Amino acid sequence: MTPAEIAARNVGPVACAGARSDRNTRISFEFFPPKSDEAEEALWQAIRKLEPMNPAFVSVTYGAGGSTRERTHRTVRRLIEETTVAPAAHLTCVAASREEVDKVIREYWETGVRHIVALRGDPPGDIGGVYEPLPNGYANATELTAAITRIAPFEVSVGCYPEKHPESPSIEHDIDVLKAKVDAGATRAISQMFFDTDAFLRYVDRVRAAGITIPIVPGIMPVTNFKSLTRMVQLCQANLPAWLVNLFEGLDADPETRRLVAASVVAEMCAGLEERGFSDFHFYTLNRADLALATCRVLGVRSAAREGIHG
């Protein structure tokens, strides 16, 4: 049965996704640098599980205020030395002079990194504080992107905000900023997490209407810990739809059921986006493999080795 025939029977997007064979899905995974030996072990277990999915790249975040600088570097170096995946190193402008940032960029190139996710970063200290660039630092991601591409021919991804950046006066301003980042050399935008798919689709329409043609990759956050998600969502001012709140209501003490609910939410979201023509997906893994792996299945992304075994 074709996806169209399945859809005609009023079956949901996940079943349609399962029936699809004509796809060119590209996935990527985001990790954060571990703080302890135990966390490092968990991260590498997740990386080993996700590596056979053949991601286009895996990215490693840069902690607020550059606080994870050494740990980010170490994780990126290990990815290069011990895995087959292409790393993308996040880099921010926070609390560093232009010379210091340029040095990091050059070191990345020398280590073999070819892809940087260029971000302004958030102000160090209190949440919601005002961002003040150092007088001799890069002021924003546009300036950072220009510096990266000036230093070496890196691939540069940048952030974008389907529901508006909290500091931005309007979506139009955000789109102007994205345009400036593209003009400075960005070749991909990865979105902030969102749960309102319609808001994301409207945003992409506006980005295209503004003449921006680079891929806008949905940033997918599998919801596992609803309490901490609520905090994150408040920070980035994404909309938490009532249906999502209802689905997780009363499950605070039941992580197993939460994970099962989360799997169905993220599967439906990704299958729905795929139905609307999206083929690139960036997973905020929170250093766990299971939900990202399950969603890869829905999107038709499978381990070549495992498929071989089952012939």
List residues with catalytic annotation.
30
| Minimum CB distance to ligand FAD, residue 33 (Å) | 10
d(CA 59, CA 62): 10
Q: Six-digit token pair at 120? A: 């302004």
Contacts of 212 (CB under 8 A, 6+ apart): 175, 178, 179, 182
Strands (E), 171-293: 188-191, 216-217, 219-220, 280-284
| Minimum CB distance to ligand FAD, residue 122 (Å) | 5
Residue with tokens 């087959």: 84
Q: Six-digit token pair at 35? A: 């703080």
Q: Using the minimum distance from each CB to ligand FAD, give the nearer residue, 279 or 303.
A: 279
Contacts of 172 (CB under 8 A, 6+ apart): none
Beta carbons within 10 angstroms of residue 2's beta carbon: 12
| Minimum CB distance to ligand FAD, residue 198 (Å) | 19
d(CA 156, CA 141): 11
| Minimum CB distance to ligand FAD, residue 142 (Å) | 4
Residues that bind ligand FAD (CB under 6 A): 61-62, 64, 90, 92, 117, 119-122, 140-142, 159, 165, 167-168, 177, 180-181, 190, 192, 219
Q: Using the minimum distance from each CB to ligand FAD, give the nearer residue, 160 or 299.
A: 160
| Minimum CB distance to ligand FAD, residue 175 (Å) | 11
Q: Using the minimum distance from each CB to ligand FAD, give the nearer residue, 12 or 65.
A: 65
Q: Using the minimum distance from each CB to ligand FAD, give the nearer residue, 16 or 119.
A: 119
**How big is the chain, counted in residues?**
311
Q: Using the minimum distance from each CB to ligand FAD, give the nearer residue, 87 or 121.
A: 121
| Minimum CB distance to ligand FAD, residue 202 (Å) | 18
Q: Using the minimum distance from each CB to ligand FAD, give the nearer residue, 55 or 121.
A: 121
111 CB burial (10 A radius; 0-12, 13-18, 19+): middle
Q: Residue with CB nearest ligand FAD?
A: 159
